[in-house]
């Protein structure tokens, strides 16, 4: 006969295994949750950079032993061969690397491949702040052997603006001598705080913006003509649509002003700050042809065309946006004309300086610019007697018509100035 002590304690055994199973289950669950959190954090950090990339372009893999990437990846012990020494000489500028890489790998002026952009950005050392933009600070930086670049830093709250401006700079066949040269775009950990920074890296122009240059300097008629010609050429290139397999959509700037134009060493200019641009691609059939940014901002109030101020512009019409750019162009040319020295010149002033406050509201600009008043900046009487300024004055006034459809187009202005402005300088 069995005693009670001979009967196995089933309840005790089951409790033990249940506890063991519960511990294993909880440990497994905790490990899965931790791994999921790490994956989400990693994806979130890299997501900033990945989302702006064009989905219709393959990622180009660049072998590290290719000559084109060697100047971007110098060894800590110095060049290891004659070829690498040549590639690392001062003649190998970032601009030349960008152009050569684009031609070799993308062939369409759409910027460096992603791997090259990220390599370059990690070799740039910020030096000092040179400006404050709408979305963040602009820094002067140095790359490798001291070549200077401009670094526009966006905070994460302005991620959409960073993505949009990067996307515009990566537009096929955009590169042009009168459009600010794009180098790279990347996310970086902050130098001081742990907050992620979104970098947009471009050519650096030490003379600064056209606005700052005109404040401190006057122009000869020849310098005025070169500046005007380059700005108009840049805007005409933006506006022009190239219909081809690897063509270029038409682009309207929507924030053209003297502060968004840079002065190069030869005193020609290039147009920058493309974050508010709209694009038009007539070849697209599967989606809207007009590509608008994801915000409702449309430029600087002082430079807005009358049809934008009174909300009469057809926002879905690309020609209307180009006409608004031409109005803004007229104001920029007026600023340049006032600082042209032909024996006398005017103090620098912003457009409508004598009609509105220093920081005008939309309503204030609307009262001044729109009908029935329709005020425009005054061209000095002396411009009539100076051939080069007389040519400029006629073009400026044809940019200012209240009806956008009556204004000159950028290609027409380019042609007009080519035929008349430079010839008039010799008689000024």
Q: Which of 352, 350, 330 is nearest to 402 (CA)?
A: 330
pLDDT of residue 127: 87
- Percent of the chain exceeding pLDDT 90 equals 49
pLDDT of residue 36: 77
For 263, the token pair is 């002065």
Expressed as residue numbers, the domain containing 275 is 210-425
pLDDT of residue 116: 66
* Residue 163 shares a structural domain with residue 244: no
Instruction: Identify whether 22 is part of a domain.
Output: no
pLDDT tens-place string over residues 2-56 = 454 554 554 445 577 677 778 888 888 888 888 877 766 555 544 544 444 433 3
Q: Tell me how many domains the chain contains.
A: 2
* Residues whose CB is less than 8 angstroms from the CB of residue 19 and which lie 6 or more positions away in sequence, other chains included: none
Residue 303: pLDDT over 80? yes
* Residue 168 shares a structural domain with residue 270: no
Q: Between 27 and 108, whose confidence is greater? A: 27
- Please state, in angstroms and rounded to a whole number, the distance separating the CA atoms of residues 380 and 249: 39
Instruction: Identify whether 277 is part of a domain.
Output: yes
- Please state, in angstroms and rounded to a whole number, the distance separating the CA atoms of residues 391 and 383: 9
| CA–CA distances in Å: residue 363 to residues 168, 358, 377 | 31, 14, 18
pLDDT of residue 192: 56
* Residues whose CB is less than 8 angstroms from the CB of residue 278 and which lie 6 or more positions away in sequence, other chains included: 251, 252, 254, 290, 291, 292, 293, 318, 321
419, with CB counted inside 10 A (0-12, 13-18, 19+), is: exposed
pLDDT of residue 415: 93
Least confident segment among 99-103, 261-265, 330-334, 362-366: 99-103
Among 151, 174, 203, residue at a domain's last position: 203
Least confident segment among 55-64, 119-128, 213-222, 344-353: 55-64
Q: For position 146, which CATH number holds?
A: 3.30.200.20
* Residue 359 shares a structural domain with residue 385: yes
CB of 248 closer than 8 Å to CB of 240: yes
* Residue 316 shares a structural domain with residue 331: yes
Give catalytic residues, as residue numbers: 255
* Residue 114 shares a structural domain with residue 228: no
* Residues whose CB is less than 8 angstroms from the CB of residue 54 and which lie 6 or more positions away in sequence, other chains included: 110, 167, 170
For 208, the token pair is 């600064």
- Please state, in angstroms and rounded to a whole number, the distance separating the CA atoms of residues 203 and 152: 11
**Largest CA-CA distance found in the chain, in angstroms, rounded:** 132
Least confident segment among 41-50, 109-118, 378-387: 41-50
Confidence band, pLDDT 50/70/90 cuts, at residue 77: very low
Residue 118: pLDDT over 50? yes
Q: Which of 241, 261, 427, 239 is nearest to 332 (CA)?
A: 261
Instruction: Identify whether 52 is part of a domain.
Output: no
Q: Which of 374, 242, 378, 239 is nearest to 310 (CA)?
A: 374
pLDDT of residue 111: 58
* Residue 129 shares a structural domain with residue 223: no
Tell me what the mean pLDDT of segment 267-285 comes to: 92
pLDDT of residue 49: 43
Tell me what the mean pLDDT of segment 74-96 comes to: 47
CB of 276 closer than 8 Å to CB of 253: yes
pLDDT tens-place string over residues 141-199 = 888 777 899 999 988 888 888 999 999 998 988 999 999 999 888 887 765 556 788 99
* Residue 304 shares a structural domain with residue 230: yes
- Percent of the chain exceeding pLDDT 70 equals 76
pLDDT tens-place string over residues 123-141 = 888 888 888 877 778 999 8
For 188, the token pair is 């970086």
* Residue 115 shares a structural domain with residue 227: no
Residue 90: pLDDT over 80? no
pLDDT of residue 401: 96
* Residue 219 shares a structural domain with residue 192: no
Tell me what the mean pLDDT of segment 241-253 comes to: 90
pLDDT of residue 7: 47
Residue 420: pLDDT over 80? yes
pLDDT of residue 60: 35
Instruction: Identify whether 42 is part of a domain.
Output: no
Tell me what the mean pLDDT of segment 225-243 comes to: 96
Instruction: Identify whether 45 is part of a domain.
Output: no
Q: Between 317 and 33, whose confidence is greater? A: 317
The structure's pTM equals: 0.77
- How many residues make up the chain in this entry? 428
Residue 106: pLDDT over 80? no
Among 174, 203, 232, residue at a domain's last position: 203
Task: Mark residue 359 as left, alpha or beta (left: phi above 0; alpha: psi -120 to 50; beta: remaining).
Answer: beta
CB of 315 closer than 8 Å to CB of 305: no
- Please state, in angstroms and rounded to a whole number, the distance separating the CA atoms of residues 161 and 380: 39
């Amino acid at each position: 006969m069995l005693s009670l002590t001979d009967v196995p304690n089933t309840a005790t055994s089951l409790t033990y295994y249940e506890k063991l199973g519960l511990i294993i289950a909880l440990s497994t669950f905790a490990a899965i949750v931790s791994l999921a959190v790490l994956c989400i954090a990693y994806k979130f950090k890299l997501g900033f950079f990945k989302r702006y990339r064009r989905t219709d372009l393959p990622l180009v893999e660049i072998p590290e032993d290719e000559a084109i990437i060697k100047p971007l990846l110098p060894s800590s012990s110095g060049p290891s061969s004659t070829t690498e020494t040549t590639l690392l000489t001062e003649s190998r500028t970032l601009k030349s690397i960008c152009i050569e890489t684009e031609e070799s790998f993308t062939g369409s002026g759409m910027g460096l491949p992603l791997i090259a952009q990220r390599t370059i950005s990690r070799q740039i050392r910020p030096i000092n702040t040179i400006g404050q933009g709408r979305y963040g600070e602009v820094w002067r930086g140095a790359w490798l052997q001291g070549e200077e670049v401009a670094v526009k830093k966006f905070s994460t709250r302005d991620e959409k603006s960073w993505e949009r401006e990067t996307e515009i700079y990566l537009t096929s066949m955009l590169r042009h001598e009168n459009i600010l040269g794009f180098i790279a775009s990347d996310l970086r950990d902050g130098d001081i705080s742990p907050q992620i920074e979104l970098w947009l890296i471009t050519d650096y122009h030490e003379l600064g913006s056209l606005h700052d240059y005109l404040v401190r300097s006057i122009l000869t008629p020849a310098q005025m003509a070169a500046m005007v010609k380059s700005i108009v050429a840049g805007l005409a290139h933006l506006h022009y649509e190239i219909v081809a397999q690897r063509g270029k959509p038409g682009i309207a700037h929507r924030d053209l002003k003297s502060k968004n134009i840079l002065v190069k060493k030869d005193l020609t200019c290039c147009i920058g700050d493309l974050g508010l641009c709209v694009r038009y691609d007539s070849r697209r059939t599967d989606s809207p042809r007009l590509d608008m940014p994801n915000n409702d901002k449309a430029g600087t109030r002082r430079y807005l065309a009358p049809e934008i101020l009174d909300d009469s512009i057809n926002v879905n019409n690309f020609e209307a946006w180009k006409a608004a750019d031409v109005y803004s162009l007229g104001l920029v040319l007026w600023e340049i004309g006032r600082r042209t020295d032909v024996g006398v010149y005017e103090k620098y002033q912003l457009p409508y300086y004598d009609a509105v406050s220093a920081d005008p509201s939309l309503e204030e600009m609307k009262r001044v610019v729109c009908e029935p008043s329709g005020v425009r900046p005054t061209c000095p009487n002396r411009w009539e007697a100076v051939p080069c300024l007389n040519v400029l004055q006629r073009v400026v006034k044809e940019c200012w018509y209240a009806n956008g459809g009556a204004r000159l187009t950028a290609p027409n202005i380019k042609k007009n100035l080519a035929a008349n402005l430079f010839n008039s300088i010799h008689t000024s």
